[in-house]
Amino acid sequence: MTGKVAVVTGGARGIGLGITRRLMEGGYSVALNGVRSKAQVESVMKELAAAGEAVYIQGDVADPMARDGIVAETLASFDRIDLLVNNAGITSPGRNDMLEVNDADFDTVMAVNLKGPFLLTQLVAGQMIDQRDADPGFRGCIVNITSISAVLASTNRAEYCISKAGVSMATKLWATRLAGHGIDVYEVRPGVIRSDMTAGVTEKYDELFEQGLALNQRWGTPEDVGTAVATLARGDIPYATGSVVTVDGGLTVPRL
């Protein structure tokens, strides 16, 4: 995959960093986006510089100007986009009972988790279509990172669950719309992954894994998710656009 360029939102921490690492191991140059300042990700960028080409683009995917900047700065650095990974996301503020969710919290989660990725995909898809028109051999790829919360109800994270279910449908919509342009679209659906987002519930899930929560009795890692994304990006699973790849250690396998 040498010479190919990926955009990974939320790519400097947690699952996003695991994805970035796996892609760079495969030869991708990566434009990683996040809300932290460049100073705050300096150590991460030094690590990645040893693996290949990477640039950091600060911005919130909920912000239209930031979305424009992600695309513009990626093109300024690398002159093309082959892969978009919509990974940036936030959990429900306060993890409140759904009877207590307010307008501001609902809107914030939807803006970051659903609206932002949808409209960033719109921008990147336009760029990919232009690249396809210039080179009929071009193959684009878009991967949306969702969650098992797209299908499992958590009443203290209602807005998060709804946002991820929305991204799941957006994957099908984009796969349908972009298939004629040589752009494959996938959903990767992680289970319980050890990251900063789950740091506050470590003790809870340690106990649940011991009790058999998942078939693989361990936490998932960002690199587990990254491996799935890199596999899709390489085209190792052809003829499958619109599909869901579940990376949850068997947590959602129905059992008696």
Q: What does the pLDDT read at residue 196?
A: 81
| Residue whose C-alpha is closest to residue 163's, from 178, 144, 179 | 144
Q: What does the pLDDT read at residue 1?
A: 54
Give the predicted TM-score (pTM) of the model: 0.96
Domain boundaries, the chain: 5-247
> In what order do the strands lie in the sheet containing 244-247?
54-58, 29-34, 5-9, 83-86, 140-145, 183-190, 244-247
Per-residue pLDDT tens digits of the chain, which is 256 residues long: 568 999 999 999 999 999 999 999 999 999 999 999 999 999 999 999 999 999 999 999 999 999 999 999 999 999 999 999 999 999 999 999 999 999 999 999 999 999 999 999 999 999 999 999 999 999 999 999 999 999 999 999 999 999 999 999 999 999 999 999 999 999 999 999 998 878 788 899 999 999 999 999 999 999 999 999 999 999 999 999 999 999 999 999 999 8
Catalytic positions, written as ranges: 160
Q: What does the pLDDT read at residue 98?
A: 97
Question: What does the alpha-carbon distance between residue 23 and residue 231 come to, in Å, rounded to a whole number?
Answer: 9
> Which superfamily, per CATH, for 5-247?
NAD(P)-binding Rossmann-like Domain (3.40.50.720)
